[in-house]
Each structure stands twice: as structure tokens, then as C-alpha cells.
């Protein structure tokens, strides 16, 4: 884990040095103090992941009273910080007293290196897991915040459990699912639950990068590297150092540039445009896409080795039509934000509006629901939003779709998206998760849809 910090408190310099020599090569950042007072002073100024402390500090003392007092004072500062105590004068009574006072574990001097490392890693991991659980609980309590994830439907529980299990690791994660399901929000949740949450999360829309901008945007450039390079610029990898880099629409990386991306993911090394100096960035990659990667690899549009680097863990976000229990809570969350924006504090959702929301098939998923509620806030003439305000003129239950052929279902979803977008082709395509050109191709295919009132 990056930036894992341990405070060593021991009055003997050679003990502190031996511990530092053991722990620093394992990647831990070490701070040393020689008195309980110094330990408390440092803990008041800095955050740590674990305290490794002696039980006796004054010369010729063996009672452990100083250690017990320090443990109790640390617990007044931080209830969750793991504490491992050690002493050359170990006995059952002292170890029990230390644990009762708030220590997490006990080890004798001279210690066994392997056992001490195991204790440290286990207690740090356990503390991080407990912290993640608390964060997840707090996020669940605050559905009104823009950074929250609403996931009460049973279909979302395996997703949330997988996020909880993997967020604290450094494994690269690939988020999949239809357009509009909220993959960027889940990426933010994973970052917030990770040990990297004090470092930046930097997002890049890969679909918006041209071939010419790819290297400059991701790796940065030196002044004069190309015509418009009027100043040095840091790339996204460097910006995200020690944090998380979110690569949205990852499947849009041109094949010619996928090799460069693979090299950075394998080594963390890159060069800015216009420079031969190799830089290194420590980033955790979360990527997202709505494509079928198996097909992309099979048809030669995406490198298999790059996919292996990206999808250590794959998390599929279910479409909104499979999350019925989330629809109304999400709608109410959007409504709470929009009431303030549009100065409509009295607005609520009527029962018939809630029923219409649940029955709609939501081809554009959560993004479409957000647009729908915003439209309803603008259209509502009374204190409650009614079904007519939603503009869902052709709501279709998911159960109805299963009785149709694929062609019939596609035609209905296209018709619903166009009608709920007031004929706006660009907005309808966004709701469907396809490009405007792809939507036009489908309209050409289904001639009976040409009677719809289309704009743009």
C-alpha cells in the first residue's frame, strides 16, 4: 500500500534502527521517537497507519506503566489506530493489561522478523477494512450528496461487496456496463475507499482525445515540443502520482497508441513529448467502457495484453432497468438537488410519478433518469410532480421487453428514447449509449420509425 506510515516509539536507538532496517525495505515510511511525550506530539501533528511501541522508557523500569499510560492516551486521540506493543520483559499479566488498555497485539523482544511483519501487515489490513466499511456506511447514509452511490436494490449488493473487497488493493479495475449507468461515480467511490484517497483522482475521457493529443494529454510535454506547446505541461499520469487515474471510454484508444499505454502500465515509466528524460508515476488505474472487449480483441481493435493489464478485476454495473428498487431513491436524490437549483423547494414526487418511473425501461439508465427529473422540475405546475411532467409517453416494463424479439425491443427502445428527448437525436443517442451516426443507421434500418418527429 502506498504511503503506509509506522510510528516506532522506543527509548533504545539500536532497537529503533533495527526496526527501521527491517520495515523500510518493505515499503513502510518510518518515524522514530524515544519518549511517550514525543510519540503523542507526533501523533497530534501527523497521521499513521500503525504504532509499534515499547512498554518501558525510563531507565531500569520494567513495570510497563509508561506503556499502559501511552496506550490509553493514544486511544483518546484515535480509537482505530493499530497498536502493537513489545518489551524485553514480557509476561502474561503485562500483555493482558496492554490489550485491555487498547493495544491490538503484543510481541516479545527479541522478535521474529517474519512474525512481526505478519502482525504489522495483518493489523494494517484489518484497520483499512474497518475504515472502508465505515466509509461505505457513511456514504450510504448520505444519498443527497453528489458523490454518493445509491445501491439498495438486491442486484447491486454483489457489486458493492466486490467494490468493498477490492478498493483497498492496488489492483487495476475495469468497470463495464451500459452507457449512463454511472461508471464514473463508482470509480470515484472506489478511489474514496482506497488507501490512495488523500492523493488526487484524475479523470481522462479517452473518447475525446485525438491521436495527436494522446501523448501530450497523458504524458505531458515540454515547451516547444510542437507548434502550440508554448509552456511545459504536466500529463495526467504525473498529476495522478500516488493516486488514481480514471480512464473513461478506454476502448477508444487507437491501436497504434495501445502499445505506449501498455508500456506505462507495465513499468510506470514514460517520457514527456520533447524530452528524453524518463519519468515514473505510481498510479492505480480504473478504466471504464460499455463495449464487448471479447469482440474488440477478436476483431483486432484492442490488444489482449493491454486488456490483461486493465482488467485485473472487472466489475459490471447493472443497467437501471435491473435495479427497480434504486429508481425512486435516485429520482428523489436528483430532485433534492434540482429543487435548490431551480428554487422549487416545495416539489415532491406523486405516487403516479413514482409508478411511471418504475415502469419505464430506462434505455439511457441513470443519466436518462437525471434528465427526466430535471425536465419534470421545469414542467411541473403544481407542488407535486405527476406522471405527465416526466414526459415518459411510452414507458415499457422490463417484463414486456422479454416477450419481444430483439428487433422489436430495439425499435421500442429507440422510439422511447426519441420521444422522451422531444425528437432531439443527439440526446436520444446519448440516452441509448450510442453515437448519433449509429442511431441514424438504425433509423435507416427501421423505416417505420421515420414517422417520428426528429430534430438534428
Q: Which of 262, 344, 254, 350 is nearest to 300 (CA)?
A: 254
Tell me the C-alpha distance between 57 and 10, whole Å.
7
pLDDT for 60-84, tens place per residue? 888 889 999 999 999 988 888 999 9
Of 130, 165, 186, which residue is a domain's last? 130
Q: Minimum mean pLDDT among 133-142, 278-287, 374-383: which range?
A: 133-142
Same domain for 263 and 375? Answer: no
For residues 249 and 176, the answer to whether their CB atoms sit within 8 Å is no
Same domain for 382 and 286? Answer: no
For residues 160 and 154, the answer to whether their CB atoms sit within 8 Å is no
pLDDT confidence of 354, banded at 50, 70, 90? very high
What is the structure's pLDDT at 212?
A: 76
Of 316, 343, 360, which residue is a domain's last? 316
Q: What is the C-alpha end-to-end distance of the chain, expressed in Å?
A: 50
State the residue range of the domain holding 410: 321-451
Three-class DSSP category at 65: helix
pLDDT for 106-128, tens place per residue? 888 889 999 999 999 999 988 87
What is the structure's pLDDT at 394?
A: 54
Same domain for 308 and 375? Answer: no
Same domain for 175 and 295? Answer: yes
CATH at 338: 1.10.8.60
Domain-located, residue 135: no
Domain count, the chain: 3
Q: Report residue 85: phi and psi, to 5°.
A: -105, 150
Same domain for 104 and 159? Answer: no
Tell me the C-alpha distance between 213 and 364, whole Å.
29
What's the whole-number average pLDDT of the chain?
86
Q: What is the DSSP string of 400-438?
A: HHTTS-HHHHHHHHHHHHHHHTTTBHHHHHHHHTS-HHH
Domain-located, residue 138: no
122: number of CA atoms within 13 Å, CB side?
Answer: 9
The Cα diameter of the chain in Å comes to 94
For residues 243 and 200, the answer to whether their CB atoms sit within 8 Å is yes
Domain-located, residue 18: yes
Domain-located, residue 137: no
Same domain for 186 and 38? Answer: no
Find where cell 483497498 sits: 168
For residues 14 and 110, the answer to whether their CB atoms sit within 8 Å is no
Q: Which of 159, 143, 206 is nearest to 337 (CA)?
A: 143
Same domain for 123 and 209? Answer: no
* β-pair type (269-271, 278-280): antiparallel
Same domain for 80 and 153? Answer: no
Domain-located, residue 19: yes
Same domain for 284 and 325? Answer: no
Of 316, 343, 358, which residue is a domain's last? 316
Domain-located, residue 136: no
Q: Minimum mean pLDDT among 199-203, 214-218, 437-441, 451-455: which range?
A: 451-455
Same domain for 221 and 235? Answer: yes
Q: What is the DSSP string of 186-249?
A: HHHHHHHTSTTTTS-EEEEEGGG--HHHHHHHHHEE-TTSSTT--S-EE-HHHHTTTSEEEEET
The length of the chain is: 456
Same domain for 290 and 388? Answer: no
Stronger pLDDT, 144 or 325, i.e. the higher one: 325
Same domain for 122 and 202? Answer: no
* pLDDT higher than 60, residue 148: yes
Tell me the C-alpha distance between 214 and 236, whole Å.
10
**What b/e string do you get for 321-333 counting C-beta neighbours within 10 Å, with b at 16 or more?**
bebbebbbebbbb
Q: Which of 398, 426, 140, 422 is nearest to 413 (CA)?
A: 398
Domain-located, residue 385: yes
Domain-located, residue 139: no
Tell me the C-alpha distance between 275 and 214, whole Å.
16
Q: Which long-range contacts (CB under 8 A, 24 or more apart) does 11-17 make?
A: 11/35, 11/54, 11/56, 11/57, 11/58, 12/54, 15/54, 15/109
Tell me the C-alpha distance between 290 and 197, whole Å.
26
Average pLDDT on 98-102 reads 91
Amino acid at each position: 500500500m502506498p504511503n503506509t506510515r509506522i510510528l516506532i516509539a522506543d527509548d533504545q536507538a539500536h532497537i529503533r534502527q533495527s526496526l527501521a532496517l527491517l520495515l523500510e525495505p518493505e515499503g513502510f515510511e518510518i518515524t522514530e521517537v524515544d519518549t511517550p511525550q514525543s510519540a503523542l506530539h507526533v501523533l497530534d501533528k501527523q497521521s499513521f497507519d500503525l504504532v509499534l511501541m515499547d512498554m518501558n522508557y525510563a531507565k531500569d523500569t520494567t513495570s510497563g506503566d509508561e506503556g499502559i499510560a501511552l496506550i490509553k492516551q493514544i486511544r483518546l486521540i484515535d480509537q482505530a489506530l493499530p497498536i502493537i506493543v513489545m518489551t524485553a520483559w514480557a509476561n502474561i499479566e503485562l500483555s493482558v493489561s496492554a490489550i485491555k488498555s487498547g493495544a491490538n497485539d503484543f510481541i516479545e523482544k527479541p522478535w521474529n522478523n517474519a512474525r512481526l511483519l505478519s502482525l504489522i501487515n495483518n493489523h494494517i489490513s484489518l484497520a483499512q477494512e474497518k475504515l472502508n466499511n465505515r466509509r461505505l456506511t457513511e456514504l450510504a447514509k448520505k444519498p443527497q450528496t453528489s458523490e454518493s452511490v445509491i445501491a439498495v436494490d438486491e442486484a447491486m449488493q454483489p457489486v458493492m461487496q466486490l467494490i468493498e473487497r477490492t478498493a483497498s488493493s492496488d489492483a487495476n479495475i475495469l468497470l463495464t456496463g451500459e452507457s449512463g449507468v454511472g461508471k464514473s461515480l463508482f470509480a470515484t467511490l472506489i478511489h474514496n475507499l482506497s488507501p490512495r484517497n488523500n492523493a488526487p483522482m484524475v479523470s481522462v475521457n479517452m473518447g475525446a482525445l485525438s491521436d495527436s493529443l494522446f501523448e501530450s494529454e497523458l504524458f505531458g510535454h515540454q515547451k516547444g515540443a510542437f507548434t502550440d506547446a508554448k509552456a511545459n505541461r504536466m500529463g495526467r499520469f504525473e498529476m495522478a502520482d500516488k493516486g488514481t487515474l480514471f480512464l473513461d471510454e478506454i476502448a477508444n484508444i487507437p491501436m497504434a497508441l495501445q502499445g505506449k499505454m501498455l508500456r506505462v502500465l507495465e513499468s510506470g515509466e514514460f517520457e514527456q513529448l520533447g524530452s528524453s528524460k524518463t519519468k515514473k508515476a505510481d498510479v492505480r488505474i480504473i478504466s471504464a467502457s460499455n463495449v464487448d472487449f471479447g469482440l474488440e480483441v477478436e476483431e483486432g481493435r484492442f490488444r489482449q495484453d493491454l486488456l490483461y493489464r486493465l482488467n485485473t478485476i472487472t466489475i459490471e454495473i447493472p443497467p437501471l432497468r435491473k435495479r427497480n428498487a434504486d429508481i425512486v431513491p435516485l429520482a428523489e436524490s436528483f430532485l433534492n438537488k434540482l429543487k435548490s437549483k431551480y428554487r422549487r423547494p416545495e416539489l415532491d414526487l406523486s405516487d403516479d410519478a413514482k409508478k411511471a418511473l418504475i415502469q419505464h425501461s430506462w434505455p439511457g439508465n441513470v443519466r436518462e433518469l437525471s434528465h427526466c427529473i430535471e425536465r419534470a422540475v421545469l414542467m411541473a405546475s403544481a407542488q407535486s410532480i405527476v406522471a405527465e411532467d416526466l414526459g415518459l409517453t411510452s414507458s415499457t416494463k422490463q417484463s414486456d421487453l422479454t416477450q419481444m424479439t430483439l428487433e422489436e425491443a430495439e425499435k421500442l427502445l429507440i422510439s422511447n428514447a426519441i420521444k422522451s428527448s422531444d425528437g432531439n437525436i443527439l440526446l436520444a443517442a446519448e440516452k441509448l449509449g450510442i453515437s448519433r451516426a449509429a442511431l441514424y443507421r438504425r433509423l435507416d434500418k427501421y423505416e417505420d420509425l421515420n414517422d417520428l418527429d426528429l430534430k438534428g
